[in-house]
Structure 1
Amino acid sequence: MNKQYVIFTDLDGTLLDHYNYSFAPALKTLEKLKQQNIPVIANTSKTFAELVEIRGALQLNTPFIVENGAAVYIPTTFFKHQPIGTKLQSGYWVKEFSKPVSHWLELLENIKTGFEGEFDHFSNMSIEQISQATGLSPHDAQLASQREYCEPVLWLGDEPSKQLFVQASQELGASPLQGGRFLHITGECNKGQALSWLFNEYKKCNGQADCYSIALGDGHNDIHMLEVADIAIRILSPTNPPPKLKRTKGVMTSSQCGPSGWAECIDSLIFS
């Protein structure tokens, strides 16, 4: 254990099971990481409200990245000094990479006339509809609905219309990102940009020279972080092929899906 690792992980389909959102198969590995003081940092499309609850269940007190890299939340006890460019908010230092969700809702309002009936989006959906579309319980759907920086779009039309929709939103300044179930309308931010910023802050604040970042993900919206991390781990999905990467070195692919694959790869890389 002469190397220091920082682990950045997607949640849905990666550390959490794609179907039931369980992380039970990874619990023993998470405990070993905690014993070795190896930070596990969620890097996810989920909201701040969701992360507060999930981090409690996972017993994590580390920073976390929300809404596909839109913002980084750092507990004020994690670093000795407040990182430059952050604001203090509810016990966290927050680094923002995107405009607020109100900006993206206004954008959707401006383009919806050309795509009537072809999409729905979170702020227009009831908690019951979000629950049905995501498989989340009503309670968890309520947490998921509390977007701060991006708006998830549920596409109902065909693929050609979807591409026109993406183009129209890009022309108005959005950077749409396809997640597992939703097209996220947000700014020019991604999980890789947020990972790089936070990892650099970690190395500066901890004086760590021999420090390596590990990224784990299963979907298209994980590609940016998988490309920039020192070690990329692709987690098999029961529904999608592994993310296609440009890099060929420092890449692992699990043989199992979800949290079982997560534990398999981390155990092999760090504890074998």
Structure 2
Amino acid sequence: MNIPTGTQFLVFTDLDGSLLDHHSYSYLDALPQLQRLQHLGIPVIPATSKTRPEIERLRAELGNTHPFIVENGAAVLIPVGYFDSQPVATVEREGYWIREFSAPREKWLGILEELSSEFPGEYDYFFRVGTAGVVRMTNLPEARALEANQREYSEPVQWLGDGTRKAEFISRLQSRGAVVLQGGRFLGVSGDCDKGRALAWLRQVYQQSKPGTLCHDLAIGDSGNDYAMLEAAETALLVRSPVHEFPALQRADGVIFSTDYGPAGWAEGVACWLQSYQLHN
């Protein structure tokens, strides 16, 4: 079945632990549903803690030409010309229309350096450990670890201390203006931004590009840094994780829970969502 006239569907997806396997970073189990979405003309929009180079490589592998959300909602990048006109509040840079929601990475690095004397040996972060350290933290190959460290708006932090001190650390960061999000592996430190705000802004741009069109959106995630996005979308798909519980949502309606893990759960949930609109083979 084809998309009904006057209706648009959007898929906003987390990557690590959702589209990508938590351990191997593979998306093979999700590939059939990715191809199905492409056949239907439904944009798949990465919304992730990952950097621009990381997402660009994955988009190239998948043949994905759609916008994407970087560094936990710090910015939305839209390929120039994707819409008929440049969206309001964006800047054009390096082939993208960019809507920025966060201050640059340098601000957060300065705060983390200042706090190191208060919390000695209790945390590490990508910039300080360098590429070799990111390899150890993530098990990524060196080239991909280099991409992961090319951050523009945020900083991943690995907490090494106990839970009480972690709460104190987060409080100190927040008092300095940072927003701290718990991801599958790391604390994400950035400005006053989140995936939900970025999703809502980009969804509005899609709607404004086709006035009068009914928009149905699905947000897919597995961890705490997906919370705002999962709350913001019409439908939320929570992907089962092998290492932590489902994130706790306020909403009860319009929620799909996968039974499979990672990309297999991603495919399971997407199939369920498409079925609910009778968009199936």
> What is the 5 A alignment of 1:95-106?
95-106=99-110
Q: Distance in 2 between matches of 1:58 and 1:16?
A: 13
AA aligned to 2:63 is Q
Pairwise CA distance, 1:65: 0.2
Q: Which residues of structure 1 form unaligned runs of 5+?
A: none
State the Cα deviation string for residues 11-66 of structure 1 (Å, max 9, x = none): 00100111101111111111111111100000000001111101111210000000
Secondary structure at 2:157 match in 1? strand
Q: Distance in 2 between matches of 1:67 and 1:39?
A: 20
Q: Does 1:90 align with 2:90?
A: no
> What is the 5 A alignment of 1:80-159?
80-159=84-163
Q: Equivalent of 1:68, from 67, 72, 78?
A: 72
Once superposed, what is the RMSD of the aligned Cα atoms?
A: 1.0
TM-score (norm 1): 0.98
State the Cα deviation string for residues 219-255 of structure 1 (Å, max 9, x = none): 1100100001000000011111111100000000011
Q: Distance in 1 between matches of 2:155 and 2:27?
A: 26
Q: Which runs of 4+ in 1 moved over 4 A?
A: none
State the Cα deviation string for residues 65-100 of structure 1 (Å, max 9, x = none): 000000000001210100010000111000000000
Q: Distance in 2 between matches of 1:208 and 1:261?
A: 33
Using the aligned pairs only, state the percent identity: 44
Q: Distance in 2 between matches of 1:252 and 1:187?
A: 30
Pairwise CA distance, 1:208: 4.8
Q: Equivalent of 2:34, from 30, 36, 56?
A: 30
Q: Equivalent of 2:197, from 193, 198, 206?
A: 193
Q: Equivalent of 1:228, from 223, 228, 232?
A: 232
Q: Does 1:240 align with 2:244?
A: yes
Secondary structure at 2:116 match in 1? helix
AA aligned to 1:128 is A
Q: Equivalent of 1:11, from 4, 12, 15?
A: 15
Q: Does 1:166 align with 2:170?
A: yes
TM-score (norm 2): 0.95
Pairwise CA distance, 1:260: 0.8
Pairwise CA distance, 1:4: 2.3
Q: Equivalent of 1:45, from 46, 49, 53?
A: 49
Q: Distance in 1 between matches of 2:118 and 2:178?
A: 17
